[in-house]
Amino acid sequence: MTISFRRPGFVCTDHVLDVPLDHAEPDGPKIEVFAREVVAPGREGDDLPWLVFLQGGPGNKAPRPGASPAAWLPRALKEYRVLLLDQRGTGRSTPATRQTLPEKAADHLRHFRADSIVRDAELFRRRLVGDRPWSVLGQSFGGFCAVTYLSLAPEGLREVFITGGLPSLTATPDEWYRTAYPRVLAANERYFARYPGDRDVAGRIARHLAEHDVRLPTGERLTARRFQTLGLGLGSSSRFDDLHYTLDEAFVGDGVLSDTFLQDVGATVSYAAQPLYALVHEACVCNGTVSDWSAERVRGEFPQLEAEPFSFVGEMIYPWFFEEDPALTPLRETAELLASHEWPALYDAERLAANTVPVAAAVYYDDMYVDRELSLETAASIPGVRTWVTSEYAHNGLSADARVLDRLIAMMRGEV
């Protein structure tokens, strides 16, 4: 049964589909995948082309119309019927958390990368539009999924839009993180140039945490290394300045960290709402390789992260997350098994070299999360990819400004 509802600017219809946990075993165990169809009011009966949105992550649910930052959605609804897909394990799709995962969780989670997401999307396409191809918009990790889509099922695609998400087709996890750490350090420099007093404040907080047993409102200890992970948001224009306002209220009295600060930090460093991000993040840059905690190993090549003056880290997952985050500690053994797993390839270089699906991609010049040069290398190896390299936007440009999607649509139509 489908359920529809209306809210200002959106007419929504909810869809749930049973899909195989392992698409190689279509008669095996099933999970549910949820997607929300969205159309502009008054256009419900129109024969509009479909645009499926693939969210960033991994492990993030699709935006909720009117409730999540998504400046692109009203622009898309001018000419598309949009499908917001909760990727398997997220949102209203069968969740993958410490509360729900089966005993052999690592075996289960080996089916939660882009290849499975693409095959889920193909089942939805056949159910909703039959044999007609549809359009895809992939943001960040969703762009990785879109390139996997071009590898596995290009016949299902009419056109592809990618924002901040052209993956490397060849880089190993270690090579990926060797490019990532310098970008994080550069983001630190941009941040501390804007807020020059914050470096001393952050260093003072880190020293305080190293010397004292400070507890978050949830009861677990806040360590200096966990505090350092607040840099995850430095690549987003919507979160860049939030860090300053968190640090701005850090201390009350003489050497006491405020409850306001601890509440803000606790909500930011917890993976309770997105455990999949921590569990399969490195797996998503494994293209026929093992990760073996790559971010942790490569970090040793950047001693400035351990020295004064203080620096934050970014989009890296470390094994000690599964010791310090209560939402992750029950999944420590699972994380170790996934880190030692040899993941199959996500991209088919030969098929991509013969691509005929048009692709328009925004590449953000100073993107902290996805390396510009690796993205352009990928674009050059796939026929039909047009890139727009811009320094006007951060990684969240798509959600922040409708002009990003407007520009990509114009590129696709040959208007710019």
3-state secondary structure 301-353: CCHHHHCCCCCCCCCCCCCCHHHHCCCCHHHHHHHHHHHCCCCCCCCCHHHHH
**Measured distance CA(230)–CA(241) in Å, rounded:** 12
Range of the domain at 251: 173-339
**What tens digit of pLDDT does each residue of 59-114 get?**
999 999 998 889 999 999 999 999 999 999 999 999 999 999 998 999 999 999 99
| Final residue of a structural domain among 284, 314, 339 | 339
Residues 388 and 317 in one domain: no
Residues 75 and 148 in one domain: yes
Residues 154 and 49 in one domain: yes
pLDDT at 1: 62
| Final residue of a structural domain among 291, 321, 339 | 339
**Measured distance CA(414)–CA(416) in Å, rounded:** 6
Is 294 in a helix, a strand, or coil? Answer: helix
End-to-end CA distance of the chain: 43
Work out the percent of the chain whose per-residue pLDDT is above 90. Answer: 98
Residues 377 and 263 in one domain: no
Please tell me which residue in 111, 367, 371, 399 is annotated as part of the active site.
367
**What tens digit of pLDDT does each residue of 151-170 get?**
999 999 999 999 999 999 99
Instruction: Spell 247-266 as b/e; 16+ CB within 10 A means b.
Output: beebbeeeeebeeebbebbb
Residues 297 and 388 in one domain: no
Residues 260 and 322 in one domain: yes
Is there a catalytic annotation at residue 140? Answer: yes
| Final residue of a structural domain among 321, 339, 357 | 339
pTM of the model: 0.97
Is there a catalytic annotation at residue 168? Answer: no
The mean of the pLDDT values for the chain is 97
β partners of residue 221? 215
Instruction: Spell 75-113 as b/e; 16+ CB within 10 A means b.
Output: bbbeebbbbbbbbbbbbebbbbbbeebeeebbebbbbbb
Residues 7 and 143 in one domain: yes
Amino acid at 169: L
CATH number, domain of 355, equals 3.40.50.1820
**Measured distance CA(73)–CA(80) in Å, rounded:** 10
Residues 163 and 178 in one domain: no
Helices (H) and strands (E) in the chain, counts: 17, 11
**Measured distance CA(100)–CA(255) in Å, rounded:** 41
Residues 228 and 261 in one domain: yes
Integer CA distances (angstroms), 334 to 88, 178, 282, 318, in order: 18, 25, 14, 14
**Measured distance CA(356)–CA(344) in Å, rounded:** 25
Integer CA distances (angstroms), 363 to 129, 223, 351, 386, 389, in order: 30, 35, 23, 10, 5
Residues 246 and 143 in one domain: no
pLDDT at 36: 98
pLDDT band with cut points at 50, 70 and 90 for residue 306: very high
Residues 216 and 101 in one domain: no
Cβ–Cβ < 8 Å for 395, 236: yes
As for how many domains the chain has, the answer is 2
Mean pLDDT over 315-341 rounds to 97
Is there a catalytic annotation at residue 200? Answer: no
**What tens digit of pLDDT does each residue of 225-281 get?**
999 999 999 999 999 999 999 999 999 988 899 999 999 999 999 999 999 999 999
**What tens digit of pLDDT does each residue of 15-42 get?**
999 999 999 999 999 999 999 999 999 9
**Measured distance CA(403)–CA(397) in Å, rounded:** 9
Residues 147 and 198 in one domain: no
* Residue in the block written with tokens 């390139």: 147
Q: Please state, as a whole number, how many other Cβ atoms lie within 10 Å of the Cβ of residue 238.
A: 13
Mean pLDDT over 167-181 rounds to 98
pLDDT at 326: 96
pLDDT band with cut points at 50, 70 and 90 for residue 50: very high
Cβ–Cβ < 8 Å for 42, 135: no
Cβ–Cβ < 8 Å for 15, 32: no
Please tell me which residue in 93, 140, 151, 168 is annotated as part of the active site.
140
